[in-house]
Chains A and B, each alone.
Chain A
């Protein structure tokens, strides 16, 4: 449950945080190695990549928990 809350806070931070509320400030910087203004990158690219990673991290965590508690599905 803690893990889920942590993953959800990252979810909210990258989208509502970096992608919206902090975006005007982050736009003063560019993503290193590219010409992307950082706030723009979070809003239109980065948040989506991070969403995908979050789900796969969740999948790995849950599969590990299943193994730890010996849960087997048919």
Chain B
């Protein structure tokens, strides 16, 4: 069997599994549709949260980013895991105690304001659509590369599948398919890493292999550092970006993680407050399996690449080189006309670089680069699809509940019947699936940039509003709304200015006009500080919230 046959088989089997699970867990009430009837066990919720969280970007993109950025890539590892500590200690148990369905629900009820609810609905929908476009595009890329299906057919197949279990099953269907998807994706991610770790070091555990030596007795990291500096690249194990920028990006990713509605909403699905606490722990444990494997994959991939590609004639390059060149993700420009692929860094004394590799292909190409068996390559394709689809489904849930619950039920038609609301939820989910698919087929050019925007927005708006809402009884609607607006406007203005208007926007690397050297990816941290600085004095200068709201905060904070 060749790679393509294996891919059809494994992708087909995994899809059949998701559909089977979805049929077994259909939702029959709004409670089941929004929060899976609040009956999910902490471990199952941990698995589902992990699959929900780990998107196409984590699965396909992250190891490639780290492979090329080295130590600077640590911001993603720490940023996308550290947020769970904040979530577990400061937000999840209290929001679960509050006991409603959505994040705008909390904002609206805590601040007793429809305006605040509306701002939260708009933020939730915007953040979720931004994210979903990337997932659908990931689905399309995997299909087109591995199954030689046109990208738009790939997206349509993905849409039909998500439609099936999200619209029928709601949160209940999504939760249990995400559990299955976690198993597929983690298996697909770790198997190639285990193979590689064993081949290179004789130790099958990637996390241990990375810190050990090859058969020549040289440490893997030291060897890679040596190879890179010989070729004129920056070394791997040290930071090269400005420290303040590293701190700000890490913090923005952490705070953004803790404020993203599709993550928070998962903690509404468990039975008890104590389950919300422990499921955050399980979620991070399951996420950590992938996140601690990623640095190992990054090092294996970069080392293999440097060992095989540079200095080899173009005609002698392996098959994967040509396949990826055909799709335009590897670009070679024979500057010196010698037919040999030269791949060197900026500081190489004599040679110029001729090779540009798209960072996103590293995880997908890695098994081929290392010459692993065909079924492993196929498994990676199935895993990438699981990661993209599980995240897309979670985001669809946020959009559909924001529309049917927050907008229809809580804002415009409070008297709507249970059946009517469920129907509205299903219609909203269907429309959202179609919009997401369209965004995947014709992605707006700014998709990759808006991911920074999503985190910045979540960090500078939701995080402070939720945190102060829980821990400060005296905090009121004036403080919350003024803080959120200042945070969002500042963060958005900075990102938009430096992405589209600044005269130096197109230079690679740090822009000298950035404030204190902080890149747009990290500006959410300043936005959040600004939010606090504005919100607290405004709240102190305006009347405290009503007795009922203060009692509500008291209630959230008391155990049981």
Contact = CB atoms under 8 A, between A and B. Distances in A.
Interface of A: 4, 7-8, 11, 15-16, 19-21, 23-24, 27, 31, 34-37, 39-41, 43-45, 47-49, 51-52, 54-56, 58-59, 62-63, 65-66, 69, 71-74
A40 B208 CA distance: 14
B274 interface: yes
B560 A72 contact: yes
Interface stretch (B105-113, B226-234, B284-292, B340-348): B284-292
Given A16-B250, A24-B239, A59 B278 contact: yes
Contact of A58 (B212, B237, B238, B277): B277
Nearest to A19: B78
Interface in B186-227: 207-208, 210-213, 219-222
21 contacts: A7-B89, A8-B86, A11-B82, A11-B86, A15-B254, A20-B243, A23-B71, A27-B238, A36-B211, A36-B221, A40-B221, A47-B81, A49-B292, A51-B82, A54-B89, A55-B84, A55-B280, A59-B88, A59-B274, A73-B273, A73-B274
Nearest to B558: A71
B291 A48 contact: yes
B85 A62 contact: no
Contacts of A4: 89-90
Nearest to A55: B281
Interface of B: 66, 71, 73-74, 77-78, 81-82, 84-86, 88-90, 93, 207-208, 210-213, 219-222, 237-239, 243, 246-247, 250-251, 254, 271-274, 277-278, 280-281, 284-285, 288, 291-292, 295, 559-560
B77 A56 contact: no
A8 B71 CA distance: 24
B274 A63 contact: yes
Contacts of A56: 278, 281
A45 B272 CA distance: 32
B82 A47 contact: yes
Given A8-B89, A51-B288, A20 B247 contact: yes
A15 B277 contact: no
B212 A35 contact: yes
Contacts of A40: 71, 221, 237
Contact of A20 (B90, B207, B246): B246
Contacts of A23: 71, 239
B212 A49 contact: no
B246 A66 contact: no
A19 B74 contact: yes
A7 B278 CA distance: 16
Across the A-B interface, give the 8 residue pairs with the lowest CB-CB distance, nearest first: A35-B219, A34-B211, A43-B74, A36-B211, A55-B281, A73-B272, A44-B295, A40-B237
Given A43-B77, A43-B78, A55-B280, A74 B88 contact: no
B88 A58 contact: yes
Nearest to A63: B274
A45 B207 contact: yes
A59 B238 contact: no
A35 B220 contact: yes
B243 A35 contact: no
Contacts of A39: 237
A39 B285 CA distance: 22
Nearest to A58: B89
A35 B295 contact: no
A11 B272 contact: no
B281 A34 contact: no
Nearest to B73: A44
Contacts of A20: 74, 78, 239, 243, 246-247, 250
A49 B77 CA distance: 11
B78 A47 contact: yes
